[in-house]
């Protein structure tokens, strides 16, 4: 099964600010694998939101949801820079998803 990826403006802004070129490349490769149908290393974080874990540099995270079985919506991103920051990123993803559903 292949996935179609859409992203929020918030995700796009976050990705544009990532300065680690190796991380940007790893994220791009990961998203290409998702489009091909391989979600890879993911972890549910609550509700219908999951995180893609990318073990490069700071430990990047992409928060996403799958809708209509074939659409992956990239909500926002972050790093594994600490438990508080990660929880803040998850709450942000939850708020974005609620806004999308409205």
Nearest to 89 by CA among 97, 70, 102: 97
10 Å Cβ neighbour count for 13? 11
Which tokens go with 6? 């859409």
**Architecture of 4-101 per CATH?**
2-Layer Sandwich (3.30)
**Would you give per-residue pLDDT tens digits along the chain (102 residues)?**
889 999 999 999 999 999 999 999 999 999 999 999 999 989 999 889 999 999 998 899 999 999 887 788 888 888 877 778 888 889 899 999 888 876
Dist CA 53 CA 97 (whole Å): 19
Strand intervals (E) in 10-70: 42-46, 49-54, 60-67
pTM of the model: 0.87
Q: Where are the domains of the chain?
A: 4-101
Please list, residue by residue across 16-54, b when 16 or more beta carbons sit within 10 angstroms of its beta carbon and e when fewer do. eeeeeeebbebbeebbeebeeeeeeeeeebeeebbbbeb
């Amino acid at each position: 099964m292949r996935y179609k990826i859409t992203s929020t403006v918030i995700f796009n802004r976050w990705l544009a600010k990532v300065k680690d070129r190796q991380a940007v490349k790893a994220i791009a490769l990961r998203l290409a694998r998702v489009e091909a149908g391989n979600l890879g290393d993911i972890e549910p974080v609550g509700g219908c939101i999951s995180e893609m874990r990318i073990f490069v540099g700071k430990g990047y995270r992409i928060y996403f949801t799958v809708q209509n079985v074939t659409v992956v919506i990239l909500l926002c991103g972050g790093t594994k820079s600490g438990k508080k920051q990660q929880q803040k990123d998850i709450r942000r993803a939850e708020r974005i998803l609620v806004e999308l559903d409205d």
